[in-house]
Structure 1
Amino acid sequence: MLISYFDDYARDYEPYKAGAWCYEDGCLYRGLITLHEATGDRRWLDHLTRLIDAQVDADGGLADYRITEFNIDNILPGRALFYLHRLTGQVRYLEAAKLLGRQLTHHPRIGSGPYWHKLRYPHQVWLDGLYMAMPFKVELGLALGDQRLVDDAIAQFNTALDLTFDTASGLYRHGYDESRLQDWADPDTGLSPARWARSIGWLAMAFVDVIEHLPEGNNRRDLSARLAALNDRLAALVTKDHRWLQVIDAPDASNNYPESSATAMFAYALQKSERLGVDRHASLGRSALQALADHEVRPVEGGRRQLQNICCVAGLGPFQGIYRDGSIAYYLTEAIRPDDIKGVGPLMMAEAERLLASGKTASHVSEASRLQTASAV
C-alpha cells in the first residue's frame, strides 16, 4: 500500500515553493533516494532526476537560490546532488553542491562554533539546522577529500548537542539563543521552553545520517552513545498506539496529539540506528511505521490517500505577524496539514529501512548494474 501511495505522491508532486530551491523539496529527495537505495527500482530515481533537473542548470546553478540569505535550510536538498553525481558522473551536480559548500564557508556562526539557523534568526541554533547542514557537510568533505570539513561538522554537532541538551528530561530543546535576546530564550541557559517532537525528529535523523559516514573510532562511538540515550527516552515516551505526541513529553496537555512527521522521523531513525549497530530499537521504529500506515494514511475524496496529522510548520520568534514563544501552548496552535512533505518524506525513509531489514529489496543488484541503470539519466 505504501509503495503505490509514494509513487502517486511523487508523480503528482508540485515543488513546495514554486520551484525555488528549498528544504521541503529536499525531504522528498531524501525519501526517493532511500527508496532507490533499498530497492534498486528505477521509478524512484526517475522521480528524483525529473524534480532535481528542474532546479539545477547546466552550469550547476540552483533555481532562485541566494547565498546571501544564509539560510541553513537550503543545504538539505544538496545531498541529492552527491547521489546523482555518483550515479551519473555529471559535473553540474557536484558544482551545485560546491555552491552550497561556499555558503557554509561564509555562513555566520555563534561564538562556540555552530552555524546560525538563518541570517534572520541571528545568534540562534535550532535542532532543525543540524539535520539540514551536518550530514551534507560530512558528505561534501568525503566527496572533495577534505577531512577538515568532516571534522568541523562533527565539532559543530557535538557543541550543539551540549548546548541544547535538557538534563532533566533527557531530551533536547528546539532552540538555543547565544545572545539571550529572544523572548523565548531562558535568560540563564538560552534555551527555548518546550520539547517539540519534530525538532527532536530532525535531530534523530541527523544522528543516523552522520554516523553512517563515520569510520570506527571515538567520533562514531561518542555520537552513537548520545543517540542510544535519546532512543531510550523515545522508547519511554511512545504512546500506547506506537506514536509520539506533538509536544513529546506533555501527555496531559490539552489538545496534544500524535503527530505524524515526528513519528515517521523516529520510525526511520530507530530502524537505522539498529542497522548501524547503535542499539536495538528497530522493532519500535517498525511498529511506529505500521501505526502510521494503519491510522494516518487514509483514503480521501477521489480515491487517493493522504498522510494525516502533520504539523505544517513551527519555529521560534517572529513569523507572519505572530511571536512563536516556544511554549507547549504555542506548538499546539500550529496548523495541521495533510500530505505535507515533511511527513511524507520521512515516511518514505522509514519504509525504505523496513524493506532493507526484511530483505525485500534489490540487494542482489550490484552497484555496477545500478550505475548502468542510471547511465541514461
Structure 2
Amino acid sequence: MRMNEREIREKLALVTQKLMRLDGPENEEELKKSGESIGYFKRDFGIKEWDWPQGDGLYGLMNIMKAEHTEEYLDFLDQWFSSNMEEGLPSRNINTTTPLLTLMDVNERLKKAEYEKLLLDWADWLMTCMPRTKEGGFQHVTSANGDRQGVRLNENEMWIDTLFMTVLFLNKMGHKYQRQDWVDEGIHQVLMHIKYLYDKRSGLFYHGWTFRERNNFGDVFWCRGNSWFTLGILDYIEDFQKQLNAGVKEIILDTYRAQVETLKRLQAKDGLWHTVLDDPSSYEETSGSAAIAAGILKGIRLGILDDSYAACAQRAVEGLLANIDQDGTVLHVSGGTGIGMDKDHYKNILIAPMAYGQSLVIVALAEALRHC
C-alpha cells in the first residue's frame, strides 16, 4: 500500500481538534421537526454528554495516543471524565457503558481511586443487573430520549452494537482483574450475537434480533452496524493474547474473514460503503466506512487478512480523506439509528457531524499510519 503520510497526518490533526470542540449541528432546529424518525436524539450531538457517541469519540483520542505514543490528550480525557462524574452520570445501560472502555486506559496512566471504583462497580453491574434476553444475551437497553436517568428496554432484543459498546469493556476488565467469569460472559455474548445476527448466506450481520417475533426485524445489512463487528472483534481477540480457546477463536476469525470478503465486494467505487450495504441507492456513509477501513487495515497488519485486501483498504482511506472538510469536520455521517423494519428507515436517517464520525475516522487514519 502507498499511503500519503503527510496528508493523513494533516487531516488527522484537523479531525482530532474538531472532535474536542464538537457541538451540535447548525441546522439542529430543522432536524428537531422530524425527531426520532430521522434519528434525531439531542444527547447524541457534541462531545460533552456521557453516552455512546461521545464514548466512541474518546476511544478515537485514546487510539491516536497509543498509535503515536503520546499523552497529548490525557488532560482532555481526564477533565471529561471528572466533570461528568461531578455532574452526575446518566442511567446505566448498553450505550452508556461505552466511555468506560477509554476510562480503563486513562486510569492505567492516572491511577485514580474514584475511576477504578466506577469501573469495577459498572462491570459488576453488567454481570448482576444488566437485563437479559432469552438464552442470556445482553438486552440492548439504551438511554431514553430526553431523560438522562431513563432507559428504553428494547425487551428481548439483541443488537450488533452491543459487542462494541459493552462486551469490549467487560472482556478487558476480566483480563485486567483476572475475573474469568467476566471473560467467559464476554465469550458467551460474542457467540450469541454471531448465532442470532450473522447471515450465513451473505456473510454480513443484521442490525438486530428479537426473541419475541424470532426474526431479524427488517433483515437489513446496515453499514455502521456491520462495522462495529469488523473493527471491534479484532480489539476483542487482541485482549486475549494467547488465552482464547483455539476453536472459539477460529470460529470468530472465520466469521470476520467471511464478512470482510463480502464487504470488499460491496465497496463503492470511491472507497466508501453504502449505509445499506447491499443497496447502491442508499447514501454512502462515512462513520461505518471508517470503522470497516480500520478493521480491514488492522486485519492486514495482524496477518489475519492477506495482501489481496490492500487495494480495498487504500481506496477506503482515500475515500475518508475526501470526506474531511477544511475545518476537520467529517462529512456524510448518519445520525443515531434505531432498528428499522425496512431499508427506507436507514436511508432516511439524518446526516450531521457526530463525535463517532470524527472518532472512527481518527481510528482508521491512525491505523493507516502504521502502514505508511
TM-score bucket (shorter structure): 0.7 to 0.9
The aligned residue for residue 229 of structure 2 is: 203
Preserved contact between residue 29 and residue 80 of structure 1 (Cα < 8 Å): yes
How big is the shift at 1:31? 0.4
Q: 1:292 aligns with which of 310, 316, 320?
A: 320
The aligned residue for residue 344 of structure 1 is: 358
1:84-233 matches, within 5 Å, as 84-105=106-127, 106-118=129-141, 119-180=152-213, 189-216=215-242, 217-233=246-262
Q: Deviations over 1:314-347 (max 9, x none)?
A: 112xxxxxxxx3311111111111x211211110
Name the SS for the 1:82 alignment partner: helix
Q: 1:2 aligns with which of 11, 15, 19?
A: 11
After superposing on structure 2, the runs of 4+ consecutive aligned residues of structure 1 that deviate more than 6 Å are none
Distance in 2 of aligned mates of 1:20 and 1:341: 10
How big is the shift at 1:18? 8.2
Amino acid at match of 2:135: S
Name the SS for the 2:284 alignment partner: coil
Amino acid at match of 2:368: R
Matched, 1:261 2:287: yes
Q: Aligned pair in 2 of structure 1 residues 357, 33: CA closer, same or farther (>3 Å)?
A: same
Amino acid at match of 2:83: A
How big is the shift at 1:63? 3.0
Name the SS for the 2:275 alignment partner: coil
How big is the shift at 1:292? 1.3
Unaligned runs of 5+ in 1: 181-187, 317-324, 359-377
The aligned residue for residue 76 of structure 1 is: 98
Name the SS for the 2:334 alignment partner: coil
Distance in 1 of aligned mates of 2:358 and 2:120: 28
The aligned residue for residue 21 of structure 2 is: 12
How big is the shift at 1:5? 0.8
Preserved contact between residue 20 and residue 64 of structure 1 (Cα < 8 Å): no
Distance in 2 of aligned mates of 1:161 and 1:314: 20
Preserved contact between residue 197 and residue 207 of structure 2 (Cα < 8 Å): yes
Q: Aligned pair in 2 of structure 1 residues 275, 202: CA closer, same or farther (>3 Å)?
A: same
Matched, 1:64 2:89: yes
Distance in 2 of aligned mates of 1:247 and 1:108: 29
Preserved contact between residue 35 and residue 44 of structure 1 (Cα < 8 Å): no
Q: Aligned pair in 2 of structure 1 residues 18, 235: CA closer, same or farther (>3 Å)?
A: closer
Distance in 2 of aligned mates of 1:13 and 1:343: 11
**RMSD over equivalenced CA pairs, Å:** 2.0
Name the SS for the 1:311 alignment partner: coil
Q: Which has the higher contact order (CA 8 A, sep 6+)?
A: 2
Amino acid at match of 2:292: F
Distance in 2 of aligned mates of 1:232 and 1:96: 40
Q: Deviations over 1:216-266 (max 9, x none)?
A: 333322211111111111111101111100110012x3xx11111111111
Preserved contact between residue 176 and residue 192 of structure 1 (Cα < 8 Å): no
Distance in 1 of aligned mates of 2:201 and 2:255: 15
Name the SS for the 2:338 alignment partner: coil
How big is the shift at 1:20? 4.0
Unaligned runs of 5+ in 2: 1-9, 24-42, 142-151
Q: Deviations over 1:97-125 (max 9, x none)?
A: 12321331211111222100015211000
Preserved contact between residue 245 and residue 257 of structure 1 (Cα < 8 Å): yes
Q: Deviations over 1:30-78 (max 9, x none)?
A: 1001100010233232332232232235xxxx832333xxx21111110
Q: 1:306 aligns with which of 319, 324, 329?
A: 329
Preserved contact between residue 56 and residue 93 of structure 1 (Cα < 8 Å): no
Name the SS for the 2:135 alignment partner: coil
Q: How many residues align?
A: 327
The aligned residue for residue 274 of structure 1 is: 300
How big is the shift at 1:7? 3.7
Query: Matched residues, percent identical?
Result: 21
Q: 1:22 aligns with which of 47, 51, 54?
A: 51
